[in-house]
Structure 1
Amino acid sequence: MTGSGALSSRPSLFPEELIPRYLAELQSPEAMTRCGFSSALGTLPDFLLRGRLQQVLTGLIAVTRISPKDVSFAEARRDGMRAISRICQTVGVKEDGTPDEAMCRENISEVYAALLDGMDDYTTDSRGDVGSCVREAAMTSLMDLTLLLAQTQPTLIAAPVCERIMCCVAQQASEKIDRIRAHAAHVFLTLLHFDSPPIPHVPHRGELEKLFPRSDMASVDWKAASQAFPLITQLLGLPTYRYYVLLGLAVSVGGLTASTIRHSTQSLFEYVKGIQSDPQALGNFSETLLQVFEDNLLNDRVSVSLLKMLNQLLANGCFDIFTTEENHHFCVKLLELCKEEIKKSKDIQKLLSSISV
């Protein structure tokens, strides 16, 4: 049989068979198969998703998780994030609805959790930081979902969730990849400046609007380190954001790209020099810096760069005031952390950086 007859002879899938078939393919050992079926699920119409929404979301959330056997499947995780976001837009929001019919109080938390987990995807392979595409998709999806909720059911945006979104995005806006930094800044400013209605629970909204006035931001090139870092380091003065921005800056200041290192370092020095006469501000900054170090002990992606950053801060006299006091907590704790970091290490770069500190 040829032509249209050949097509008509193929068995068709009924709706109740289609989704289970697609979901089964999400467990494929082939990354591209997962990508294709994730994208397909993301384009399903509302009538096919209703009654099966929770099943679909559960399958896609599983795709976004990292496991030892599929750690390199970054594109599949990215497409899983995108599909979740599209489905949220398709089915809409009903605060007291059922999780099989719409986004509601019962399922919004697990979706937010999956998208926020994507912000921590720093997997690497021979291609480099492949997790960056997941982080980028996670930021877009978080923005789209939050804007959707703000316009329909803002009560579903919990304060801790909004805080974590803004902080995680601020961290990405402080990091070294130009594309990711620019996208993070776009997401951050979109959420900050959205006013139809405003996003609830944005931490330090008043201060942020003064630091990043809408009228000035349109002309900023966030891919340019010379423009981005002087702006983003202003967040170090806001307690809620300080930890995350320092975490991002640690990777940038201790990075490899000359322009990124120069401008992130200069911006960081200017901030720290500006708080030298404020013991409380300097104390808060130093305590947060120690916390970042402690939380990332033996995490080479962060700790090696952080040691380089600490060395530069110390070499430029940023903490000289602490050396006037015998056994100052900062000095003692920093020494302890350095010892812990290099214990039994054979990493020459790490050892040299630690010795310098």
Structure 2
Amino acid sequence: KACPNCCFCALFHFTVVPVILKALTYDEKRGSCSVGSNVRDAACYVCWAFARAYDPSELIPFINQISSALVIAAVFDRDVNCRRAASAAFQENVGRQGTFPHGIDILTAADYFAVGNRVNCYLTISVYIAGFPEYTQPMIDHLVNMKINHWDSVIRELSTKALHNLTPRAPEYMANVVLPRLLPLSVGTDLHTRHGAILACAEITHALCKLAEENNRSVTYYFNEKSLEGLKQIHQEVCRKGLGGELMRPAVCTLIEKLSLSKMPFRGDPIIGGWQWLINDSLRSLPLVSSTARQHIKESAVSALAALCNEYYINEKGEADPALQDELVTRYISGLQNTEEMIRCGFSLALGALPRFLLKGRLQQVLEGLKKATIISPEDVSFAQARRDALIAIAKVCQTVGVKGEGSQEEYVCKDNVTQIYATLLNGVTDYTTDSRGDVGGWVRKAAMTSLMEVTLLLVQNETELINANICKQIMCWLAQQAAEKIDKFRAHAGSVFLTLLHFDRPPVPHIPHREELERIFPRSETETLNWNASSEAFPRITQLLGLPTYQYYVLLGLSVSVGGLTETTVRK
């Protein structure tokens, strides 16, 4: 803090410039947090003082270093106060010195308010600034050297996504310098560095392959044999050293996903079997990890599975190998009856992620397996999350296979299986299971409502005649009941789905009871403004449905649940 005063008193010597630049990135972990934000903030103040204390000619030798350091701090610092301090210091130097490269252009994009959003800084502003050659390499080097091994996992993940976005700005540098530097780090000993390096390798590889494809080049244009082997060995080395649970499993799954999306030439390679084993093992291991990490691991594994299947399991005829198809489908369906709830969740979503060519000929078996996973039995009454994910998977499967009214029930949603699908989804709306966690059936009801909407809109846009009047009546009545209930978030979701189906017009959903009256009660113009979360707004509207015979019983049922609730405000409304 004494440095700015020294600047104004002309006691400052420029040998401390390297120290100030180092202070701009100082960050040291202490326990579960870090120290250093106050040091970085003070360093920005010193740089601000430079602009006021010295003539432009005196700072010329250090302009590129100072400007790059301030840009990096303004865009990539973890703390918003430091980003804003760096932006203010940069602005002061641009205004008073006038020698910072592209100063006005950068200030327009990275002003005091723009740098307030960290995600925007990493993923958008950084790409714009990297378009100026003076800043491209310093920004990339900072992410590789300081951020992919950061103690905060959010910063590590943001940094790797930023590297993906920055790759088109310097593809040769990424391929020839950055990637070879990251590959050894991805199999190193430090967990945080290994985690960040694996994600960075995945993102950079994907970006390079997309760039090559856009320029009509081979996907391996930017890679030499050593890099390709290094990318394959990451999975083997990580498995040998240990997956590290909550960090390494999703990281390696992301690597598998990105390499598959990159269309790397690994078809027929034994590594594909290793990748499939890791995905399956990650889904089987869900009960062993903490509840906070399960969702991330599950989503990463399912995304990796979808990408892997689409790239490496389809032949030239667009079909799957029968033995492989049988193994995958059978394995996942058998997992739906596992005694562990989380394994059921993982395998349900895995079935929902399978591409069409793997579901062809096995659709009825998959739907039947998912239907059984939604049924409540005395042994698994508390498995609400498994039932939720099974309902989500049913909608995903329907969207994947598509609709064909006269088609085979083993390949399409058609007249022979649509009733069964709707019966399963409508049964989910009746789940009112409660346990020590509260109304866990609400998770199932919410998933059922979403799936009903998705399947209905799919049918409306393809084969409207598959929706009969009775099914549509049941959907709208059950949604009306949910829109009259006590828990705000479930009421809001039901109301949103109800209005989506009511006002959908491409083409309209057929057979909606009392459509004209509903459109008067819920005008299209108020769809976005009606706050279903507020009971004072929702109940006066939904009670108007009591005058419509079709909805009367269901709305009364929903209101009865609300009146019997524990919340005094809801009871009064």
TM-score between the two structures when normalised by the length of structure 1:
0.71
Aligned pair partner of 2:478 in 158, 168, 180 = 168
1:123 maps to which of 433, 455, 459: 433
Match of 1:258 in 2: 568
Instruction: For 1:196, give the aligned amino acid.
Output: R
Cα drift, residue 3 of structure 1: 6.2
State the partner residue of 2:497.
187
Deviations 1:278-303 (A, max 9, x none): xxxxxxxxxxxxxxxxxxxxxxxxxx
Q: Which ranges of 4 or more aligned residues in structure 1 deviate by more than 3 Å? A: 2-13
Deviations 1:186-224 (A, max 9, x none): 010001000110100000001111111111232111000
Number of residue pairs the alignment of both structures matches: 262
Match of 1:20 among 320, 330, 333: 330
- Distance, in Å, in 2 between the alignment partners of 1:183 and 1:70 is 26
Distance in 2 separating the partners of 1:100 and 1:161: 22
* Alignment-mate amino acid for residue 107 of structure 1: N
Partner of 2:286: none
Match of 1:102 among 397, 407, 412: 412
- Structure 1 letter corresponding to 2:489: R
Deviation at 1:91, TM superposition (A): 0.4
* Cα distance in structure 1, aligned partners of 2:389 and 2:498: 22
| Identity score, percent | 61
Classify 1:128/1:4 alpha carbon distance in 2 versus 1 (closer, same or farther; 3 Å): closer
What residue identity is the alignment partner of 2:364?
Answer: Q
Code of the aligned partner of 1:150: V
In the alignment, the residues of structure 2 paired with residue 139 and residue 51 of structure 1 have an alpha-carbon distance, to the nearest angstrom, of: 28
Deviations 1:99-132 (A, max 9, x none): 1000000010000000000010001111011000
Classify the secondary structure of the residue corresponding to 2:494. Answer: helix
Is 1:223 aligned with 2:223?
Answer: no
Cα distance in 2 for partners of 1:250, 1:61 equals 30
Q: 1:43 aligns with which of 344, 353, 360?
A: 353
**Higher relative contact order by CA 8 Å / sep ≥ 6: 1 or 2?**
1
Name the amino acid aligned to 1:30: E
Structure 1 counterpart of 2:142: none
15 and 236 in structure 1: CA distance in 2 versus 1, 3 angstrom threshold: same
Q: Any residues of structure 2 matched to 1:311-326 within 5 Å, and which?
A: none
Give the 3-state SS of the residue equivalent to 1:70 in structure 2. coil
Structure-to-structure mapping, 1:66-215, within 5 angstroms: 66-215=376-525
Counterpart-to-counterpart distance in 2, 1:16 and 1:93 = 23
Residue 32 in structure 1 maps to residue 342 in structure 2? yes
Please report how far the alpha carbon of residue 4 of structure 1 lies from its aligned counterpart in structure 2 after TM superposition. Answer: 6.2
For residue 226 of structure 1, what is the amino acid of its counterpart?
S
Q: Which residue of 2 aligns with 1:65?
A: 375
CA distance in 2, matches of 1:216, 1:22: 44
Cα 1:186–1:5 change in 2 (3 A) is: closer
Instruction: Name the aligned partner's letter for residue 214 of structure 1.
Output: R
Residue 54 of structure 1 pairs with residue 395 of structure 2: no
**Structure 1 residue 254: deviation in Å?**
2.3
- Whichever residue aligns with residue 539 of structure 2, its letter is F
1:247 aligns to what SS in structure 2? helix
Root-mean-square deviation (Å): 1.6
Choose from 220, 235, 239 the match for 2:549: 239
Unaligned 5+ runs, structure 1:
264-357
The answer for the alignment partner of 1:316 in structure 2 is: none
Larger Rg: 2
Q: Say if 1:32 and 1:231 are closer, same or farther in 2 by CA, change over 3 A.
A: same
In 2, the alpha carbon distance for the partners of 1:177 and 1:70 equals 24
Q: 1:4 to 1:242 in 2, by over 3 A?
A: closer
Q: Mean alpha-carbon deviation: is it higher for 138-147 or for 12-21?
A: 12-21
Secondary structure at 1:69 match in 2: coil
Secondary structure, counterpart of 1:102 in structure 2: coil
Q: How far apart are the structure 1 equivalents of 2:561 and 2:334?
A: 39
Shift of 1:258: 1.7
Please give the alpha-carbon distance, in whole angstroms, between the structure 2 residues aligned to 1:132 and 1:16.
34
**Aligned AA for 2:504?**
F
Counterpart Cα distance in 1 of 2:365 and 2:527: 41
Structure 2: which amino acid aligns with 1:153? E
How many angstroms does 1:233 deviate by? 0.2
Q: Per-residue CA shift, 1:66-97, capped at 9, x if unaligned?
A: 11110000000000000000010000000000
Residues 4 and 183 of structure 1, relative CA distance in 2, 3 Å threshold = closer
CA distance in 1, matches of 2:475, 2:515: 14
How far apart in 1 are the matches of 2:369 and 2:338? 12
CA distance change for structure 1 residues 5 and 35 in 2, over 3 Å: closer, same or farther? closer
One-letter code aligned to 1:258 = E
The alpha-carbon distance between structure 1 residues 257 and 98, as it changes in their structure 2 partners (threshold 3 A), is same
**Letter of the aligned partner of 1:65 in structure 2?**
I
**TM-score, normalization by structure 2:** 0.45
**Match of 2:429, SS?**
helix
Deviation at 1:5, TM superposition (A): 6.5
